[in-house]
Amino acid sequence: MIEVKQAYKTFNRGTPDENPSIRGLSLKINDGDFVTVIGSNGAGKSTLMNLLSGSIQADSGSIHIAGQDVSTMPEYKRARFIGRVFQDPKVGSASDLSVAENLSLAMKRCGGRGLRLANRKAYHETFKEKLSHLDLGLEERLNDSIGLLSGGQRQAITLLMASMIEPHILLLDEHTAALDPKTADRVMRLTDQIIKEHKLTALMITHNMEQAVKYGNRLVMLHQGKVALDISGSERENLKEEDLLAQFSKLAKT
């Protein structure tokens, strides 16, 4: 589903602030993989997400998604087959629009007909049915401004919106980091449910070691812009938090 070959990305090249963020990174992600991505600050995690989404382009190397070379494809074109949820629950939805109107925008991305859908009873029923699966009572708040919802409720709707476009890839950029522990746990369970139900290929950045070992079928650790650790199968199933902490300590010495 994803193949990154020898990608390089340096910010502020030729200045005193030059920052080589991605340094010859190569990575293959299989269709249906749920990959947790970890690494210290500055390891290149968010840069990798930005390269995949098209919000920035690599200096060199290539990126293929579902067999298509997207290395120079702009972000708005990739948005048709990539869903993304950010750390800030306010990003990814429009605060001044209603829940129904935000869902309509998501449907427009996958071929729907835009905001007019929100005024049709048939689509309201569709939205209610989808929201009911979140088990947050949001199916009764279709006409409420999404800006009135809690962070966890809004993030849950953003997850739903990202999956409605039937993406090839779902990118989760520390999407529970701004939530309290109880809400973060609920959003993570919803995340796992949505990924499994839609059979999505997903990459999730997290600094939470419990999440890193509990969710997904594969774990990738980045260090200095490269893949330092790639674990799957039985090794991944037996992975413990202390194993990751030990690996962090080892890499810190290099």
pLDDT digits (tens, 9 = 90+) for 147-196: 999 988 999 999 888 888 778 899 999 999 988 898 889 889 999 999 99
28-66: burial string, b at 16+ Cβ within 10 Å, e else? ebeeebbbbbbbeeebbbbbbbbbbbbebbbeebebebe
pLDDT of residue 167: 86
The verdict on 58 and 43 lying in the same domain is yes
Closest CA to 237 of 207, 208, 210, 215: 215
Contacts of 144 (CB under 8 A, 6+ apart): 98, 99
CATH of the domain at 136: 3.40.50.300
Residue 130 CB coordination number (10 Å): 18
Total structural domains within the chain: 2
Where does a domain end: 40, 63, 78? 78
In a domain, 248, yes or no: no
The verdict on 7 and 23 lying in the same domain is yes
In a domain, 185, yes or no: yes
Please give the residue range of the domain that contains residue 69. Answer: 1-78
The verdict on 180 and 87 lying in the same domain is yes
In a domain, 165, yes or no: yes
pLDDT of residue 120: 62
Distance between CA atoms of residues 251 and 54, nearest Å: 29
What tokens appear for 94 in the block?
């429009």
pLDDT of residue 59: 96
The verdict on 87 and 61 lying in the same domain is no
The verdict on 178 and 92 lying in the same domain is yes
The verdict on 10 and 48 lying in the same domain is yes
pLDDT of residue 116: 52
Distance between CA atoms of residues 226 and 22, nearest Å: 7
The verdict on 9 and 46 lying in the same domain is yes
Q: Kindly give the parts of the chain with pLDDT less than 50.
A: 112-115, 117-119
C-alpha separations of 103 from 24, 130, 143, 147, 191 in Å: 39, 10, 11, 14, 17
pLDDT of residue 201: 96
The verdict on 165 and 57 lying in the same domain is no
Angle, CA of 162, 73 and 93, to the nearest 5°: 25
pLDDT of residue 99: 92
Distance between CA atoms of residues 62 and 248, nearest Å: 28
Beta bridge partners of 219: 36, 231
C-alpha separations of 181 from 14, 110, 150 in Å: 42, 33, 14
pLDDT of residue 91: 87
